[in-house]
Amino acid sequence: MARCKVKGSANGPKCEPRMTDTKFQKVRESTKRAGVMGWPVDHSLSPRVHGYWLKTYGIDGRYDRLPVAPQDILTRLRALEADGFVGCNVTVPHKQAALAGVDEAHPLAARIGAVNTVVVRPDGSLYGFNTDGFGFIENLAQGHKGFTAASGPAVVLGAGGAARAIVAALLDAGAPEVRLLNRTIEHAEALAVDLAGFGVGMLTVENWTSRADALAGAALLVNTTTLGMQGKPPLELDLSDLPGDALVNDIVYAPLETPLLAQARLRGNPAVDGLGMLLHQARPGFEAWFGRSPEVTDDLRSYVLAGD
């Protein structure tokens, strides 16, 4: 049985280490700790992102992968403060459960139905928010100068968790129209019901089979499905009707250049890859935990892509 420290106890009672982390007991009291809870979480690039920033800004902090099984997520969140954490990210499959696990959620996170960032407040209570939509918008703004959601209709493919945050962010940022298309139309309809009344734009659900037609007049095309991801089939989409200046974005970042992005660039459309969304969505959490607003730079991109 290992020993772990509990707040208010000088030596700490005997207990199991809360997190699967061999260096758990070596962390100094002053070191601010955060991490990402997921199941599995081995693939997560977040430790590389936050690790880079901690080093770059000379902050006494650490950020770890925290494997947490679905049945343990609420307990683990509740134990954050006792475990010496200032907060954490939550990723698949915990984002919905985390919403129920925090004491207070940002209205946007409540609307989306998912929390990806948790902060332990000074009184020990947990505050949850969702930074996926922020990361999405910031990635487009950085990757394509002059981008604004208000510039025209957006076509969003997919209706999973990522699509939920992206559609909310687009409407929130003033998109006049969002056309949502998904293989299972019921999932798109459910999303549209949940986000009804968000922003001033119109949210319409269209048939997956007519996705090529939905591109007419669009200013933005976003793929949030898993199609095009390593090991998955490519997204089959005829881009003929897409205006030549429409921005194309794929939230898939493995590979970085998906078949969709390659196809878009080939016909002259501007295109932004998905890595930046991952990098930008990490910024608000880092700032809340470690007190410094971090930057997404080319050097960070290269470092993250280089892998462990």
Query: What residues are labeled active site?
Result: 95
The closest residue (CB) to ligand ATR is 160
Minimum CB separation of residue 28 from ligand ATR in Å reads 36
Strand partners, 87: 119
Minimum CB separation of residue 160 from ligand ATR in Å reads 2
Question: Does 40 sit behind a cis peptide bond, omega within 30 degrees of 0 on the bond before it?
Answer: yes
Minimum CB separation of residue 119 from ligand ATR in Å reads 22
Cα pseudo-dihedral 34, 35, 37, 43, rounded to 10: 170
Token code pair at residue 107: 């209205």
Nearer to ligand ATR, 234 or 291 (CB): 234
Instruction: Give φ, ψ of 265 to 5 degrees.
Output: -60, -40
What are the strands of the beta sheet with 117-120, ordered from one edge?
Answer: 61-67, 32-38, 87-90, 117-120, 126-129, 104-105
Instruction: Give φ, ψ of 129 to 5 degrees.
Output: -140, 175
- DSSP, res 94: -
Nearer to ligand ATR, 55 or 232 (CB): 232
Minimum CB separation of residue 165 from ligand ATR in Å reads 9
Nearer to ligand ATR, 237 or 248 (CB): 237
Nearer to ligand ATR, 236 or 245 (CB): 236
Nearer to ligand ATR, 86 or 279 (CB): 279
The answer to whether the beta carbons of residues 21 and 72 sit under 8 Å apart is: no
Range 250-282 burial, b when 16+ CB lie within 10 A, else e: bbbbeeeebbbbebbeeeebbbbbbbbbbbbbb
Binning the chain into helix, strand and coil, the percentages to the nearest 5 are 35, 20, 45
Q: Contact residues for ligand ATR (CB under 6 A)?
A: 158-163, 182-184, 187, 224-227
Q: What three-state secondary structure class fits 112?
A: helix
Minimum CB separation of residue 157 from ligand ATR in Å reads 8
Among the listed residues 252, 251, 283, 272, the one whose alpha carbon sits nearest the alpha carbon of residue 52:
283
Nearer to ligand ATR, 49 or 80 (CB): 49
Minimum CB separation of residue 12 from ligand ATR in Å reads 38
